[in-house]
A and B are shown apart, each in its own frame.
Chain A
Amino acid sequence: MSTVSEPLVGSSRSLSATKRHKSVRKNSRRIYSAYQDHEGSSDDEDKDDERVDSNDPEEMFQNIQYQKEIIANIRTRPWPMRRKLKVLKHAREIVLKYEGRLTRTRGYQTAGADLLKKLSRVLYNVVVLFIPWEVRIKKIESHFGSGVASYFIFLRWLFGINIVLTIMTGAFIVLPELLAGAPFGTTRSKTIPKEHLASAQDLDTIWSLGGYLQYSVLFYGYYGRVRKIGSAGYRLPLAYFLVGMAVFAYSFIILLRKMAKNSRLSLASASDENFTFCWRVFCAWDYLIGNPEAAESKGAAIVNNIREAIVEEQEKKKDTSLAVLISLRILANILVLLSLAGSIYIIYFVVDRSQKLEQEKPELTLWEKNEVSVVVSLITMIAPSAFELVAQLEMYHPRTSLRFQLARVLVLYLGNLYSLIIALLDKVNSMSSAVPVNPGNWSDSSAFLATISQPEVDSLSTLVSDISVSEHRNSTIATIATVLDVTNSGRSSAGTSNQTALFEKNTRSQQDQCWETYVGQEMLKLSIIDMIFTVASILLIDFIRGLVVRYLSDCCCWDLESKFPEYGEFKIAENVLHLIYNQGMIWMGAFFSPCLPAFNVLKLIGLMYLRSWAVLTCNVPHQQVFRASRSNNFYLAMLLFMLFLCMLPTIFAIVRYRPSRHCGPFSGQEKIYDIISETVANDFPLWFSKVMSYVTSPVVVLPALLLLFMLIYYLQAIARSLKFTNNQLRMQLQTERTEDKKKVFQMAAARLQAPEAAADKKPDQQESDVTSQEASVHTPSPRRNGSVTNFQSPVRRGNSIRTITQSASRAELNRGSVAGSVRSPAVTILPKHRLEHIPNRPPPFLGGPGGTCRSKSYHHMAYNPPARYPDNIHSDPLCRKTVRSIHPVEAAGIITAQSYGGRRGHTTRYVIVNEHEPRKKLLRSATRIPRHYLMEESAEILELYPRNIKRYAPRNTHHQPHPHRSHPSQQHLSEEEEEEEEGKGRRRVSLGKAHRPRSLSDLHQPAHFYIGERAESHVSMAKDSRTAQRRYGVQEEDEEEDGEGEMDWGDLESHSRFQANVRGADPLLVRTRRHIHSPGRHFQSPARTRPMESHVKPKTRPKLETPLTESDSASLASSSDQQNSSTDQYIQVIHNKERYLKSEARQGKLAKKKSKTGFDLNQSESNDLVSSNV
């Protein structure tokens, strides 16, 4: 098809093709069809040029826009690169060439856009360089597939989040405190107590995060409580609080956004449909895998998978010893629960013990200090493997067991974290409650003393120094108050041992009392220990094991690699869970230890390198890879869950506990969040605090809450209904699709049967046709003028006898008419149109001039019709008569339409005369609607008219003359009818109304119309037989063998023709509004219209193609198979077209101006319909 057509079709077609692609991208199926028909003709895009009319800036602009669209979307087209390059080059040239002709501003605009595009591309090129670990991840991906890589991508994503968190805390808390806050050692909370000073630098102390580390920016306790620091008056406490909250807020937002994006990406939401086998076959292979071992295991996994599916399919339910299984599962769950409870108890116990130890023993061993975190980390390490062992008891399907495993591990992690934090908070509770109650007076007074003592020591001492010393020595007078006493005792080393001891104890408890620091310490410790354990496990479990397996397998009696130790598997799910757990720790501790995110960043970096190294060196991928794409959101959901649960304790602590008094930014406040109200009260104008108080009063909050709930409910309801409609639509789509397919399938089958069946059925059917026609005649007649109908029916029968001669003459006449039309003065337009058609036509026709082709086809018709369809032929005389009779009656405009029909059908001379006249009139009168001309003309060429007239004639009572002429109201009516009517027959009727001028034609052939499909098909075939199908059908009958080859040609031709028809209409709609605006132009200058048509036509083609093909096949089937199958097929065909019609009709409605054109479309398409049906 491509090669021959290329030169002729040339520019217009290629253009249309590209255009087609543009519209097609939305629907991949359409893409495919496009791609199919382009496959052969790879070069037809090459001459991609549009005749740009330099006069028309609008057109030019559109063209340029269009070209630009090509440039923008070219990468998504399934063309070979060479073609893409060519098209691209060409499009660029056009843009360059014509852009200058546009107005300046447009030129600048586009230039600016170009520049922007270039810049963004450069930027993108640069940015890509900075995505961390891209190469590394790609390498892993190429070795182990997307599953393993998803872990690393997740890791990288977490890394990104932590970076942001670090920046937030670093920039707004840590840095200001370091730069502007009181320096180390200046205040009590920032100095290391004396008795700890000696050990503050011990590795031991540092390791347990005591000493210098404890009194550093790492922890909450270090931050000053001064409301404003630095010269700028930075409100550190406020910032601390806000950042603490912002960390959570940011995490939430980023998580939710990511999840939303993911869910948008995955179309797989429709999970009710299962293509188990297909997916396993077509989607199983991970094209990323490049490593032989990975490929091997993947292959094995796929085989397993398929086998599994087979087994499942064969015996859907294998209830082997259900009782045992159930009991086993119960046992397993009990075990898991026990281990969970045990782990929680152990953690609680350990925390408790460490607390007691701390109180009892002044010196703690290394083990005792790190007990808690070590135990927690151990549990998190060991328990998952234990769970896995337990899971083997259960004998679940691997995937469900993986899910169970994940859920359990998650619960375990959460339980660990929770029991830890609860134990800690418990401790905090006892701490904060013990201090005031137990030595209540003491602590208070001492605290007071302590705070006062340092700043005031000097002044006091200066005042009282002399006296005090003496007094102290004497110790007789206690008048000066204990204050002095204590201070002095503190200062003088000679003070009583009791007092100093007391004081020491007080200060210590007072510093330890900083529970926030304590919690932060524990979390950081946990994080560190966790890191150590991770590293250790990677080294031991993976690396050493890998080494052993690889190098000792030779000297072992069994195969280490495949039997017992094997290589460590990379358990994606568990590792991801571990990441989540880790992140949970960070969130939990971030408020109390602002540097935790920073630490986590380091940890993640280390983890990334270590893991990737380990994976590449000593791991094999997990056999049961958890689906990467689906797991993405699964992981994220877990992360979200974790975030929420980790936020709770922090929030709880913030709300529930008093901040410790002597350390941290909130010391001295009743609650941590008081900082907000305090700030509002002090630093904002009065009205603001007033407003705030109103806003926060229950009167406002409660309704707001209610509103929120209502909103949530409403949105949920909407979501539910959307889901419902979504489901319905999907079902509808599917049923429709399947039905369509089935129809096509049937048709194909019918086509196969056709040759045999055709011969037998013909005679019978013909007879039946006659009868049916008669019957039909009666029915329509009442609607129209009764007299006319009656008159017709007899005539018809009589005609059937005549038919032979007529048909023969017709064929000749047709030929003659083609030639004649060219000659005829009035028909100046015709030749041009023909020319247009020719290029569009597929190659076979191109070879010969259009006339010959047609004549050929006519010949066929000519032969056949007389023999077969006498009935059909009789219509001709009727037409003539009708034409005559009507002429006087109808207005000139109407006549034109009729005349077309008449001319076509009979090609009698006088008809021709009629044609010319009306045309002239039309041309003149039709200035309104130039497209109309296009359509009609094309129709003429196709010569579809006669047929239509016959068919639709009966219904012409409604009579709509050609749409353009018809009254707008009528048009609307018809459109509506079309939409409403579901019954095919009725629709047809409506169509008929729409198209048909209520001409004489109506009169003569009402019967066909009513008779239904068969009659029509016969008639149409016999009569015009100009449409390819008819032709084809005829041919088939004549020469069944040859039919095959010719069929195709015929199809092609019919395509082109139909397309042409439709095109004529479509262009008007879609493409060229200007034409509509200036209808006169086209008409007047046929030369101009031509190019327009040419681009326009090809464009419409893609849409029509499917229906056309179907209809073709349908028509083929019907022609060959005759009436039996024809009804069904017919229905189906109409069905398809109906859609188009409707849509177009709607379009037409949309734009008023277009409405007429849309109508035309309907007409033209209805013509198609008719022809195809026939």
Chain B
Amino acid sequence: MGNKQTTFTDEQLEAYQDCTFFTRKEVLRLHGRYRELAPHLVPLDYTNNPDIRVPLTLIVTMPELKVLCSVAGQENPFRDRIVETFSEDGQGNLTFNDFVDMFSALCETSPRELKTIYAFKIYDFNRDNFICKEDLQRTLNKLTKGELTPEEVTLVCDKAIEEADLDGDTKLSFADFENMISKAPDFLSNFHVRI
């Protein structure tokens, strides 16, 4: 496929296809989306792997953030978390690689294990490798946009931990989380994002 303007070399595209669940076209489209975010920052030519990060603030504030608005979702309460989770520096600044990675992990065909790992990371707000009560509270508040009363929130958190916590340490380890998620009927269908 000879492209008019080479964004990637064939080799790069192959590599991306190996590393993600995307087709060539999708990778190119992703790049298009990525570039839309910050046209002045992101070059069209990616053949030499420029190290460019689009900062979270820019991603969020820019009005024409089609990708993240309509996909990861302005509406998505976990948008920031998703972006942060996938950014290599943890600040939410995404390189194109991170960007591709994010959508690859969230795409339809990625396996449950992978998704579970990233889901855990997303819900683990304080990055202590446990989903503790605080994480749960934050999750809930994001999810319900603060519509629940504090008592309700604590109740739900307690219940949730009680349900899934196998070892009684009042926080959810990855094993707990995985055990719980693997039985959830619609985790797979819900935890993915379209591009």
- CB of A738 within 8 A of CB of B117, answer no
Q: Most chain-B CB neighbours within 10 Å: which of A75, A76, A275?
A: A75
Q: Most chain-B CB neighbours within 10 Å: which of A124, A128, A146, A290?
A: A290
Asked if A277 CB lies within 8 Å of chain B CBs, one says yes
Contacts of A628 in B (CB 8 A): 186, 189
- CB of A303 within 8 A of CB of B194, answer no
Q: Which of A265, A270, A289, A629 contacts B183 (CB 8 A)?
A: A270
Contacts of B194 in A (CB 8 A): 138, 141-142, 288
Stretch at the interface among B13-21, B32-40, B56-64: B13-21
- CB of B143 within 8 A of CB of A288, answer no
Q: Given A75-B20, A80-B97, A744-B167, decide whether A288 and B190 contact each other with a Cβ distance below 8 A.
A: yes
- CB of A275 within 8 A of CB of B75, answer no
- CB of B70 within 8 A of CB of A32, answer no
Contacts of A273 in B (CB 8 A): 183
CA distance A29 to B182 in the complex (A): 11
Residue in chain B with minimal CB distance to A630: B185
Contacts of A280 in B (CB 8 A): 156
- CB of A31 within 8 A of CB of B113, answer yes
- CB of B75 within 8 A of CB of A85, answer no
Asked if A233 CB lies within 8 Å of chain B CBs, one says no
Binary A-proximity of B95-119 (CB < 8 A = 1, otherwise 0): 1011011001110001111101111
- CB of A291 within 8 A of CB of B75, answer yes
- CB of A28 within 8 A of CB of B116, answer yes
- CB of A128 within 8 A of CB of B23, answer yes
Please provide the chain B residues from 4 to 59 with a CB less than 8 Å away from any CB of chain A in the complex: 15, 17-21, 23-25
Asked if A985 CB lies within 8 Å of chain B CBs, one says no
CA distance A187 to B69 in the complex (A): 66
Asked if B134 CB lies within 8 Å of chain A CBs, one says no
CA distance A270 to B182 in the complex (A): 10
Q: Most chain-B CB neighbours within 10 Å: which of A78, A282, A286?
A: A282
- CB of A745 within 8 A of CB of B159, answer no
- CB of B98 within 8 A of CB of A80, answer yes
CA distance A748 to B130 in the complex (A): 16
CA distance A295 to B75 in the complex (A): 6
- CB of A289 within 8 A of CB of B76, answer yes
Interface residues of B, count at CB 8 A: 79
CA distance A265 to B186 in the complex (A): 11
Asked if A88 CB lies within 8 Å of chain B CBs, one says yes
Q: Given A142-B71, A276-B163, A738-B166, decide whether A284 and B183 contact each other with a Cβ distance below 8 A.
A: no
Asked if A121 CB lies within 8 Å of chain B CBs, one says yes
CA distance A461 to B114 in the complex (A): 86
- CB of A742 within 8 A of CB of B167, answer yes
Stretch at the interface among A306-314, A511-519, A948-956: A306-314
Contacts of A313 in B (CB 8 A): 155, 159
Contacts of B163 in A (CB 8 A): 274-278
Asked if A3 CB lies within 8 Å of chain B CBs, one says no
- CB of A78 within 8 A of CB of B71, answer no
Task: Give chain B nearest CB distance to A747 CB in angstroms.
Answer: 11
Asked if A967 CB lies within 8 Å of chain B CBs, one says no
Residue in chain B with minimal CB distance to A74: B19
CA distance A295 to B70 in the complex (A): 11
Binary A-proximity of B165-176 (CB < 8 A = 1, otherwise 0): 011110000110
Asked if A268 CB lies within 8 Å of chain B CBs, one says yes
Q: Which of B15, B110, B119, B193 contacts A88 (CB 8 A)?
A: B15
Residue in chain B with minimal CB distance to A300: B147
Binary B-proximity of A115-138 (CB < 8 A = 1, otherwise 0): 000000100110010000000001
- CB of B144 within 8 A of CB of A303, answer yes
Please provide the chain B residues from 79 to 100 with a CB less than 8 Å away from any CB of chain A in the complex: 88, 95, 97-98, 100
- CB of B123 within 8 A of CB of A282, answer yes
- CB of B178 within 8 A of CB of A285, answer no
- CB of B136 within 8 A of CB of A745, answer no
Residue in chain A with minimal CB distance to B182: A267
CA distance A74 to B25 in the complex (A): 20
Task: Give chain B nearest CB distance to A893 CB in angstroms.
Answer: 46
Asked if A558 CB lies within 8 Å of chain B CBs, one says no
Task: Give chain A nearest CB distance to B31 CB in angstroms.
Answer: 13
Please provide the chain A residues from 251 to 292 with a CB less than 8 Å away from any CB of chain B in the complex: 265-268, 270, 273-292
Q: Most chain-B CB neighbours within 10 Å: which of A35, A71, A76, A737?
A: A76
- CB of B167 within 8 A of CB of A302, answer no
Residue in chain A with minimal CB distance to B72: A287
Residue in chain B with minimal CB distance to A89: B15
Contacts of B72 in A (CB 8 A): 287
CA distance A923 to B88 in the complex (A): 50
Asked if A82 CB lies within 8 Å of chain B CBs, one says yes
- CB of B174 within 8 A of CB of A627, answer no
Asked if A819 CB lies within 8 Å of chain B CBs, one says no
CA distance A289 to B169 in the complex (A): 34
Asked if A36 CB lies within 8 Å of chain B CBs, one says yes
Asked if A741 CB lies within 8 Å of chain B CBs, one says yes
- CB of A281 within 8 A of CB of B110, answer no
- CB of A275 within 8 A of CB of B98, answer no
Asked if A1099 CB lies within 8 Å of chain B CBs, one says no
Residue in chain B with minimal CB distance to A24: B113
Q: Given A277-B160, A287-B190, A303-B148, decide whether A85 and B77 contact each other with a Cβ distance below 8 A.
A: no
Asked if A81 CB lies within 8 Å of chain B CBs, one says yes
Asked if A1080 CB lies within 8 Å of chain B CBs, one says no
Q: Given A75-B19, A142-B194, A745-B167, decide whether A125 and B25 contact each other with a Cβ distance below 8 A.
A: yes
Contacts of A649 in B (CB 8 A): none
Asked if A25 CB lies within 8 Å of chain B CBs, one says yes
- CB of A146 within 8 A of CB of B189, answer yes
Binary B-proximity of A37-76 (CB < 8 A = 1, otherwise 0): 0000000000000000000000000000000000100111
- CB of B169 within 8 A of CB of A745, answer yes
Q: Given A81-B97, A270-B183, A289-B75, decide whether A282 and B119 contact each other with a Cβ distance below 8 A.
A: yes
CA distance A647 to B73 in the complex (A): 46
Task: Give chain A nearest CB distance to B97 CB in angstroms.
Answer: 4
Asked if A84 CB lies within 8 Å of chain B CBs, one says yes
Contacts of B120 in A (CB 8 A): 32
Q: Which of B114, B145, B184 contacts A283 (CB 8 A)?
A: B184
CA distance A738 to B169 in the complex (A): 11
Residue in chain B with minimal CB distance to A35: B117
Contacts of B126 in A (CB 8 A): none
Task: Give chain A nearest CB distance to B88 CB in angstroms.
Answer: 5
Could you tell me which A residues sit within 8 Å of B by CB distance? 25, 28-29, 31-32, 35-36, 71, 74-78, 80-82, 84-85, 88-89, 121, 124-125, 128, 138, 141-142, 145-146, 265-268, 270, 273-292, 294-296, 299, 302-303, 306-307, 309-310, 313, 627-630, 734, 737-738, 740-742, 744-745, 748
Would you mind naming 24 contact pairs between A and B with Cβ atoms under 8 Å apart? Answer: A29-B175, A32-B120, A75-B20, A76-B110, A81-B104, A84-B101, A88-B18, A128-B23, A142-B70, A265-B188, A267-B182, A275-B164, A279-B184, A281-B139, A283-B186, A284-B143, A287-B106, A290-B69, A290-B70, A290-B71, A290-B73, A627-B185, A629-B188, A737-B166
**15 more A-B contacts (CB under 8 A) besides A292-B75, A745-B168?**
A36-B174, A78-B105, A80-B97, A81-B104, A121-B24, A268-B183, A275-B164, A276-B163, A278-B163, A286-B190, A287-B106, A287-B190, A299-B77, A306-B152, A742-B167
Could you tell me which B residues sit within 8 Å of A by CB distance? 15, 17-21, 23-25, 69-78, 88, 95, 97-98, 100-101, 104-106, 110-114, 116-120, 123, 129, 136, 139-140, 143-145, 147-148, 152, 155-156, 159-160, 163-164, 166-169, 174-175, 177-194
The 10 closest A-B pairs by CB, nearest first: A741-B167, A295-B75, A81-B97, A28-B113, A81-B101, A277-B160, A268-B185, A290-B70, A277-B159, A84-B19
